[in-house]
Structure 1
């Protein structure tokens, strides 16, 4: 028996599709400007401002004056990201790639690969670009509560040659993908609940997903990190770097995973401290269990 869809889910879906229709009709430059305006309106209305402030204050990286500037840019950027996200997924936005040879080399080893992502820059556009260039790209995804939006989102990803992998029996599916030499894109910067363990992040301790480090330990797969940052000229700057290699034996199971969790978080922390206005994880309860939201 199919699950009954609440009325408000239909309303959310129709609103989203209406926005999508508008953004597709507008020239991209205008849609980005409109997105930035909407993002700034959310800031003025205080949407998620409390969460953002608590995260930034807890991290303690910025003084009050700089934090104010970062937050304004953050909301402008998330509006622009959403505007681009609503455009057709099979037509990537303008982009330039730094170190594409690193990705090609890692992927060509035939051992399976993981692309480590964060809510930093436009990760959906990044998946679209990779999906158009590389075969067998999969993304670990948490299904949306709104089934109508989930179906729409899944179709967008498939259109960009990206296959979603959902939590049900995810580990078995991920291992199958790696064993056949496929690619998995995975976000690792959210609170992971019972599936995570403490690891350093932005100079603090945060609950961190173990999946990437665990798969690396089990399979010796390739690891790359990537992000896509929108520049003032409307072009995405895509940066790729190979994952760190640590002098630690696989025989030391727990120590291996703990060390790689920390090393992977160090990469993300470096990105975020360099361009904090592009880190949309500020909107998440990243330090849940450490601070009160």
Structure 2
């Protein structure tokens, strides 16, 4: 029965894939905005985690945005998310060696070129920001394959579809849970890894500042960088505004926000320093286009133990 459910889910998914893949750029943007309107304005807000998103925006930006502006940022986040899903479906057909120059504007790529041509291992980091799949695909097209670390999906048919999508350009998909030995083996052979670096790591993570608030972050990235003398590169793929008239597809600014070299660190806490540096780099990128970050993700879910112990005291004082 479980297998039948998975097959039915996959059948529905493939139907949507066929429809999405046939849409023009203008139609894709229009459909994404319609779906965002349904999610944001028609569904109960407890279903869409609006409170989480709005509280995260206030936590990150303080009083920079009014209530109305926060409302619009959350709405635009949904538009961005649906466009990202559509672009992921369309990517193999739209993005290739003969088209990417019309689709991508490059920020200063000097540090990126130096990193990937250095002969050293590279940990390429991104976040749930912009269209992270576009940047990954580009490096595959350029002959820079990586082990792409991702979470296993519950539906095995959907999981295989996304694996094929990511491996089309020469990458290899590795599971976040269960494939750590393969990650180590890849790095041992001089390979490179692509990872998302903005997920809550629970109470045992290393806490670093993210928009001015401690956020639990996985230590594994810094530990791998130190163990294998790997450069840590933080990249982004920001969707640019649509141009008037027809255009071949969505357009993106792709750039490198920071390259962190473990050899250059002068600190007694290299793990904490590397983790803070790549987290701060991601924050700087997000500030350029906050509507393209996935604010419904509970990035500050875990709190440092000192904060938990202080809460009862603060509550008593308030009383």
Shift of 1:28: 2.6
1:107 is matched with which residue?
116
- What's the secondary structure of 1:181's corresponding residue? coil
Q: Which position in structure 2 is the counterpart of 1:236?
A: 252
State the 1:194 CA deviation. 6.0
What does the per-residue CA deviation read over 1:227-283, in whole Å, with 9 as the maximum and x for residues that have no partner? Answer: 111112331111123324576458x4xx11011111111111112223210111x12
Question: Shift in Å at residue 168 of structure 1?
Answer: 4.8
Higher mean C-alpha deviation, range 192-201 or range 265-274: 192-201
Task: Assess if the C-alpha contact under 8 Å between 1:37 and 1:79 holds in 2.
Answer: no
Structure of larger gyration radius: 2
Matches within 5 A, 1:1-293: 5-44=2-41, 45=43, 46=45, 47-61=48-62, 62-89=65-92, 91-92=94-95, 94-193=103-202, 196-233=205-242, 234-245=250-261, 248-249=265-266, 252=268, 255-280=269-294, 282-290=295-303
Q: 1:194 to 1:139 in 2, by over 3 A?
A: farther
- Structure 1 residue runs of 5 or longer lacking an equivalent are none
TM-score, with normalisation over the residues of structure 2?
0.81
Q: Are the structure 2 counterparts of residues 177 and 87 from structure 1 closer, same or farther at C-alpha, using a change threshold of 3 Å? A: same
Q: Distance in 1 between matches of 2:227 and 2:58?
A: 37
Report how far residue 6 of structure 1 moved.
4.7
Q: Do the aligned partners of residues 168 and 276 (structure 1) sit closer, same or farther apart at CA in structure 2, a change above 3 Å counting? A: closer
Alpha-carbon distance between aligned partners in 1 of 2:168 and 2:223, rounded to the nearest angstrom: 30
- C-alpha displacement at 1:97, in angstroms? 2.1
- Runs (4+) of structure 1 exceeding 6 A deviation are none
1:101 Cα offset (Å):
3.7
- SS class of match (1:240): strand
**Structure 1 CA distance for aligned equivalents of residues 12 and 143 of structure 2:** 33
1:213: how far off? 1.0
Segments of 5+ residues of structure 2 without an aligned counterpart are: 243-249, 308-319
Q: How far apart are the structure 1 equivalents of 2:217 and 2:302? A: 12
Cα 1:74/1:167, change in 2 over 3 Å:
closer
Shift of 1:149: 0.7
Kindly tell me the number of residue pairs found equivalent between the two proteins: 284
Task: Return the offset for 1:150.
Answer: 0.4
What is the CA-CA distance between 1:71 and the residue it aligns to?
1.4
Counterpart CA distance in 1 for 2:110 and 2:190 is 18
Could you list the per-position Cα deviations for residues 189-231 of structure 1 after superposition, in whole angstroms to 9, with x for gaps in the alignment? 0112366222211110111111221111112212211111111
Q: Aligned equivalents of 2:168 and 2:121: distance in 1?
A: 22
In structure 1, C-alpha distance between the alignment counterparts of 2:206 and 2:232, rounded to whole Å: 20
RMSD: 2.3
Asked if the contact 1:116/1:224 (under 8 Å) is kept, the reply is yes
